[in-house]
Amino acid sequence: DTEVTQTPKHLVMGMTNKKSLKCEQHMGHRAMYWYKQKAKKPPELMFVYSYEKLSINESVPSRFSPECPNSSLLNLHLHALQPEDSALYLCASSQMAVGNEQFFGPGTRLTVL
Amino acid sequence: AQRVTQPEKLLSVFKGAPVELKCNYSYSGSPELFWYVQYSRQRLQLLLRHISRESIKGFTADLNKGETSFHLKKPFAQEEDSAMYYCALKRGSNYQLIWGAGTKLIIKP
């Protein structure tokens, strides 16, 4: 399996809802990433996990809470989001080596009402 | 400061014409550079990385340290090359990428 999968594909939520985004990879990658991408813009890094430990948090608001239950799974828990959080949320994974490429999932299109 | 600049937001060329998407970087160390491509309704995917010096889908990119550039080139554009292209710089010893703003490439028939 050489793909990163993400569920759900689309998500619509209200500002008081709690939801979770899921990401899975079975390539043995030990680095996993969450990005936020607005239309026609590059991805913005949110979080990086290395060996299932949070190594980078790019000053993301606490209404976004990442979790890495094991080496294949990455979750992003959402609570009390704002309409400006509507975006495409991308998960990626990579080997931890020089020249490693990041493999991206298809993303979850999130709309906050 | 570490930075990646893609000066063209939009580039439109005719099918069969040469294509060059510009990327300039600012980095004090030894850079690792990548080109990623995002086709319409598809996931972001790696096109090229400078250390492998490969040619993918007819595209090549050469790292020019003197000009701090990593321009993406293809001698004869095809309609299926229409996509969003991002140049990215790996930040040091961790796994972060610094992204350019992206160039939308449109190939006209």
The predicted-structure confidence for B42-59, as pLDDT tens digits, reads as follows 999 999 988 777 788 999
d(C-alpha A4, C-alpha A91), whole Å: 8
d(C-alpha B25, C-alpha B30), whole Å: 11
Tell me which residue of B43, B73, B69 sits closest to B57, measured CA to CA: B73
Q: Are B44 and A94 in contact (CB < 8 Å)?
A: no
pLDDT of residue A60: 93
Chain B residues close to A45, C-beta within 8 Å: 96-97
Contact B72, B17 (CB under 8 A): no
Q: B102: Cβ–Cβ under 8 A, 6 or more apart, which residues? A: A40, A41, A42, B6, B9, B84, B85, B86
Q: Are A43 and B95 in contact (CB < 8 Å)?
A: no
Q: Are A48 and B96 in contact (CB < 8 Å)?
A: yes
CA of B51 to nearest chain A CA: how many angstroms apart? Answer: 7
Q: Is the pLDDT of residue A96 over 90?
A: no
Q: Is the pLDDT of residue A38 over 90?
A: yes
Q: A75: Cβ–Cβ under 8 A, 6 or more apart, which residues? A: A20, A21, A22, A23, A66, A67, A68, A69
| Least confident interval from A51-65, A77-91, B87-101 | B87-101
pLDDT of residue B28: 84
Chain B residues close to A42, C-beta within 8 Å: 86, 99-102
The two tokens of residue B70 are: 């990593």
Q: Is the pLDDT of residue B93 over 80?
A: no
pLDDT bucket at A99, cuts 50 / 70 / 90: low
pLDDT bucket at A65, cuts 50 / 70 / 90: very high
CA A65 to chain centre: 10
Q: Are B34 and A41 in contact (CB < 8 Å)?
A: no
Q: Give backbone dihedrals phi and psi of B80, rounded to 5 degrees, phi first.
A: -70, -5
Owner of token pair 């979850």: A108
Q: What is the mean pLDDT of residues B87-106?
A: 88
